[in-house]
């Protein structure tokens, strides 16, 4: 694999996303926060600080998740539908380089989105004089980027062998179930059914445990001000390793497709 060619593909993906005005989402996020800062106190006079803290991080996560899923599932499918994939594979570019470049390009876009939204979020917290822990929020933002990269890998893996619509549905399902995999295991044990317990255990082993990369609640309550570095490094390594594994699967499937 030629890393230079991977970076060229990633750069093209990034520029294409910018041309498609995907960064306008940052302005939309700022508008949402402005409305929330004005409206939330009307509903919760005593807990509006925690509500805004939670709302801001949740809105950031949801908006970037939508981008990761809808764009990620179409990255390769769009090339196939437009037949531009024939031009790419005709060049001295391997299919693994295409997959890696698409992944890095979209991950870069998502990182820019998260960085810009986090900055806007912190500005609004200052404007509203809302107590917050900057280190906790920054750590949560980094782990949000890792989670989005993993979801991007899931989206690309589904996108290389099925339609965009089905890939979106499956990726959303993985996201939802990935956030409750520990609860699935507990549910299987409570059922006292060996078959159900085996199924939930299997899902736990196969699906990514996204709860390990979700630090929104910890950021809201400032629990990351003195982080457990070992646990954070372990969870970050888990996310990166899982992403690499998914990209390897996507590359394996894509390398066997005929066009």
Summarised one tens digit per residue, pLDDT across range 80-105 is 666 666 666 666 778 788 899 999 99
215 Cβ neighbours under 8 A, 6+ residues apart: 136, 139, 140, 143, 144, 224
Q: Tell which wins on pLDDT, 223 or 137.
A: 137
pLDDT at site 233: 93
pLDDT grade, residue 58 (50/70/90)?
very high
Q: Tell which wins on pLDDT, 225 or 110.
A: 110
Query: Is residue 155 assigned to a domain?
Result: yes
Query: Is residue 194 assigned to a domain?
Result: no
The answer to whether 87 and 246 have CB atoms below 8 angstroms apart is no
Q: Residue 24, Cβ neighbours under 10 Å: how many?
A: 9
Query: Is residue 37 assigned to a domain?
Result: yes
pLDDT at site 71: 92
Query: Is residue 198 assigned to a domain?
Result: no
pLDDT grade, residue 44 (50/70/90)?
low
156, pLDDT greater than 60 = yes
Return the ∠ at Cα 249 (arms to 248 and 251), rounded to 5°. 65
Distance CA(115)–CA(110), nearest Å, equals: 9
Average pLDDT, integer, range 195-199:
72
Q: Residue 199, Cβ neighbours under 10 Å: how many?
A: 14
Q: Residue 151, Cβ neighbours under 10 Å: how many?
A: 27
Query: Is residue 100 assigned to a domain?
Result: yes
The number of domains in the chain is 1
28, pLDDT greater than 90 = yes
Residue 245 vs residues 9, 68, 206, 242, 248: alpha-carbon distances, Å: 20, 18, 12, 5, 5
Query: Is residue 20 assigned to a domain?
Result: yes
Distance CA(152)–CA(231), nearest Å, equals: 23
Average pLDDT, integer, range 127-139:
87
129 Cβ neighbours under 8 A, 6+ residues apart: none
Query: Is residue 110 assigned to a domain?
Result: yes
Q: Tell which wins on pLDDT, 223 or 4.
A: 4
Average pLDDT, integer, range 168-190:
81
pLDDT grade, residue 155 (50/70/90)?
very high
Average pLDDT, integer, range 191-195:
70
pLDDT, mean over the chain: 85
Query: Is residue 196 assigned to a domain?
Result: no
Q: Determine the structural domain holding residue 121 and report its residue range.
A: 3-179+214-255
Average pLDDT, integer, range 186-195:
69
Distance CA(80)–CA(74), nearest Å, equals: 9
């Amino acid at each position: 694999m030629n890393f230079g060619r991977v970076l060229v593909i990633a750069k093209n993906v990034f520029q294409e996303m910018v041309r498609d005005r995907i960064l306008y989402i940052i302005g939309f996020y700022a508008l949402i926060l402005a409305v929330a800062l004005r409206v939330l106190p009307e509903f919760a006079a005593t807990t509006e600080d925690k509500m805004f803290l939670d709302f801001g991080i949740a809105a950031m996560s949801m908006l970037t998740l939508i981008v990761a899923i809808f764009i990620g599932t179409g990255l390769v499918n769009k090339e196939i539908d437009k037949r531009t994939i024939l031009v790419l594979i005709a060049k001295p570019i391997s299919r693994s380089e295409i997959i890696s470049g698409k992944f890095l390009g979209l991950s870069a876009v998502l990182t820019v989105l998260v960085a810009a939204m986090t900055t806007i979020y912190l500005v609004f917290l200052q404007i509203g004089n809302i107590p917050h822990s900057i280190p906790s929020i920054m750590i949560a933002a980094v782990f949000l980027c890792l989670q989005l990269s993993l979801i991007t890998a899931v989206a690309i893996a589904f996108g290389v062998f099925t339609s965009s619509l089905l890939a979106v549905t499956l990726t959303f399902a993985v996201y939802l179930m990935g956030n409750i995999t520990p609860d699935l295991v507990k549910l299987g044990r409570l059922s006292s059914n060996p078959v159900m317990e085996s199924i939930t255990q299997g899902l736990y082993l196969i699906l990514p445990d996204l709860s390990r990369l979700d630090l929104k609640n910890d950021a809201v309550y400032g629990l990351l001000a003195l982080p457990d570095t070992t646990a954070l490094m372990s969870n970050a390594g888990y996310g990166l390793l899982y992403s690499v594994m998914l990209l390897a699967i996507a590359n394996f499937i894509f390398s066997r497709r005929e066009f």
